[in-house]
Amino acid sequence: MSLIVMKFGGSSVGDAERMKRVANRVVERQREGNKCVVVVSAMGDTTDDLIDLSKQICTITPPAREMDMLLSTGEQVSVALLSMAIQSLGQPAVSFTGWQAGMYTEAVHGKARISDIQPDRILKALEQGNVVIVAGFQGMTEEGEITTLGRGGSDTTAVALAAAVQADVCEIFTDVDGIYSTDPRIVKCARKLPEITYDEMLELANLGAAVLHPRAVEYAKNYNVPLVVRSSFNHNEGTNVKEEAAMEQGIVVRGIASDKNVARISILGVEEKVGQLAKVFTALAKEQIDVDIIVQSGVMNGLADFSFTVSLSDKERALEVIQGIRDEVGFREVSSQENLVKVSIVGAGMVSTPGVAAKMFEAISDLGLSINMVSTSEIKTSCVIDNSRLNEVIQALHTAYGLDTDSQAFVGGPAERR
Amino acid sequence: MSLIVMKFGGSSVGDAERMKRVANRVVERQREGNKCVVVVSAMGDTTDDLIDLSKQICTITPPAREMDMLLSTGEQVSVALLSMAIQSLGQPAVSFTGWQAGMYTEAVHGKARISDIQPDRILKALEQGNVVIVAGFQGMTEEGEITTLGRGGSDTTAVALAAAVQADVCEIFTDVDGIYSTDPRIVKCARKLPEITYDEMLELANLGAAVLHPRAVEYAKNYNVPLVVRSSFNHNEGTNVKEEAAMEQGIVVRGIASDKNVARISILGVEEKVGQLAKVFTALAKEQIDVDIIVQSGVMNGLADFSFTVSLSDKERALEVIQGIRDEVGFREVSSQENLVKVSIVGAGMVSTPGVAAKMFEAISDLGLSINMVSTSEIKTSCVIDNSRLNEVIQALHTAYGLDTDSQAFVGGPAERR
């Protein structure tokens, strides 16, 4: 007998029919002889509807505490209904809100981190033969305030619960049937990965493959929780996310990701003095602006050029910050560029295989494109390029690294329901 | 400075505009120098919508625990939004669910009774200058289960909270601007009562004047909480509900109520033996059938007739119960009658004023109607009559007891919003 945590997102429980389908899925798993804890999100558009309602009523920035009171009802509705659906199938079930499930968080509203889990009620209810249904995305502070975990929070709830109850596996049900080598909507011959490491998944998650929230993957890695990503619409094998993952013969790159939310800022003709870079990035950090890739070109006549990337929405603020320290730093000019994309190849084996990055540069050059910036880590290489021919680039890299497959990707439920 | 509990029902917060109007009302009261605790119900049709949703998903009798989980979200949405609306006016506010407000109840789902209130968080938040907004209709058991109080539960929440925080007054805002001598939709010249006693209100509440829930009135009486019933749509003086209420000169009847949910059952030719009545009513009680008026006619040839009333929905079951004890009791026949109405006059001064009931019988007779059954208590007299001319009867009684007035009743908000 296994103890399984199953997580279903908002689109998997988007209406009464889907809710019933999830109930069937859970009961099936329970009747195979497992104990099941189910984490669900709010139904379909519920969260957005509640936000709309608050906008009609609230003429100030919505107080974060009250937004948490408001939004946490969405998951509470889901767990109650799923419990009814499961009980309708003759299977005892009990639903818990975040606070009932013992999910304690920091005293931060809108994006709290889990600080502690006291799963006594969950364990007791499991022992009594119940399927236990827990509201995702929410918790409670020590002072009894309701909090939410922010976007992707239900994934984190599921993984953290799996760690707390020492589940054998945490299954994340979504509208794709696993993690793919790249976005199957872009590359038709994308391959589903049987396995992937936490670190690789983290890179892919951070790079915009939105299937799993990065915080949840981090949690899984820290507590060594085995994850499976699979479809809530079929019974295909999913993708196992774990500490070590086998590589197919001859393949060294696991996946290819891209991120269009990127702008480049270049500071040209910077006077060469000690601590110049530090001044710039300290000033940006003070304004909560995250900097990703940083490239410094060679020094000429005592003047250096350097460039870095920020997210698109931070671009204007970043330019203001830099103008604000012009006198202190001393530079000729600052420029910026949009219409860029960061393309990354990810694979845990890259570090021990020479020539992996070179092949990437070659594939991009063969398309007649120039590479603006490059960054590398042990398990990934990223290139910033013009975004006009992104799909061609991804397809070319996918082929170059031998990832193309013949089988058809499964994406989403019946088309008319999406 | 007064401490005030204000209660707003679902129609008073039915949409964004109404929610804002309530916020204005509360802030106005707070800025007069009062401390305010506000109890709200779910917005408009929210509760019914949630019940509909559960019917789409649940193919068994909905488990009461999960219904409470589901329905309690309605009030949680209301309190969060009202808090935002009040904060938008520059007034600090904080919302609490039932469990956060320390509302403890029995471990019964769907119609729990309040067992204890621990208002520490409310008092602390008030002290910090907040308007405190509490979700009506809900509480928590000692074991941390969410419960609801059943229909009319938000009134009870408000009154119980008022008792717990020792409020100076509990204001119940509704869509009429007070308690009327009778239903102003039936009698145009109904008069609004400046005052009414708890006992009178209890009779009127039980008799179908649906403005205040009987359980809330009972609570107010037990804890001597001064109530005011007033409109959420205007600033008219409302009706004070309290222990002792002044009577206008020459008026002894406070109000007239009617209840169409009544059926008469007659058992004819019952063998006269000790304990016959007890047998019948014990059998009915076992089936949870409430019996209201009981009339036994004289005995003839050792055979008695008796009649009693039950609510319409219980009629068929009551007849089955009586057929089931036919052999044990021994009677000639049983019959039943619908199309009846119970009309009642209520007034605390009746007991010390002779001839009050006689005037009632006379007024009904003058209309050519016969009286089927009569029941009296210290503060009321009820007659069961044919329901075909109810409005005429109420109008006639209203005139007979000198209750007619010239001023126009205010019922509800703008007509198009109802």
What pLDDT does B175 receive? 81
B224-229 mean pLDDT? 96
CB–CB contact B60 A85 (8 Å): no
**pLDDT beyond 50 at A380:** yes
What pLDDT does B410 receive? 59
**pLDDT beyond 60 at B411:** no
What pLDDT does B418 receive? 26
pTM for the model stands at: 0.85
What residue has token string 């009649």? B307
- What chain B holds in terms of domains, given with CATH numbers, is 3-174 (3.40.1160.10), 245-418 (3.30.2130.10)
Return the axis-axis angle of helices B214-223 and B153-164, rounded to nearest 10°: 10
Highest mean pLDDT among A68-82, A174-188, B253-267, B278-292: A68-82
**pLDDT beyond 50 at B124:** yes
By Cβ distance, the residue of A19, A76, A144 closest to B69 is A76
CB–CB contact B77 A73 (8 Å): yes
- From the number of C-beta atoms within 10 Å of its C-beta (0-12, 13-18, 19+), residue A120 rates as exposed
Q: Parallel, antiparallel, or unpaired: how do β-strands B131-135 and A131-135 relate?
A: unpaired
CA dihedral A47→A52→A55→A58, nearest 10 degrees, is -50
CB-CB contact of B343 with B383 (8 Å): yes
- Give pLDDT tens digits for B156-198: 999 999 999 999 999 999 888 889 999 888 888 998 999 999 9
- From the number of C-beta atoms within 10 Å of its C-beta (0-12, 13-18, 19+), residue B261 rates as middle
In whole angstroms, give the CA distance from residue B352 to residue B363: 21
By Cβ distance, the residue of B19, B50, B69 closest to A57 is B19
Does residue A88 belong to the interface with chain B, where contact is any CB pair within 8 Å?
Answer: yes
ipTM of the complex: 0.84
- Give pLDDT tens digits for A275-319: 888 899 999 999 889 898 988 877 788 888 889 999 999 999 999
Mean of per-residue pLDDT scores for chain A: 91
Q: Which residues of B touch A81 (CB under 8 A)?
A: 53-54, 57-58, 66, 70
**pLDDT beyond 80 at A205:** no
pLDDT band with cut points at 50, 70 and 90 for residue A418: very low
Min Cα distance A85 → chain B (Å) is 5
Min Cα distance B237 → chain A (Å) is 28
Q: Lowest mean pLDDT of A36-40, A99-103, A326-330, name the range.
A: A326-330
Report the percentage of chain B scoring pLDDT > 70: 96
- Give pLDDT tens digits for B33-92: 999 999 999 999 999 999 999 999 999 999 999 999 999 999 999 999 999 999 999 999
Does residue B19 belong to the interface with chain A, where contact is any CB pair within 8 Å?
Answer: yes
Test the A interface: residue of B43, B51, B59, B70 with most A CBs within 10 Å = B70
CB-CB contact of A236 with A409 (8 Å): no
In whole angstroms, give the CA distance from residue B95 to residue B136: 11
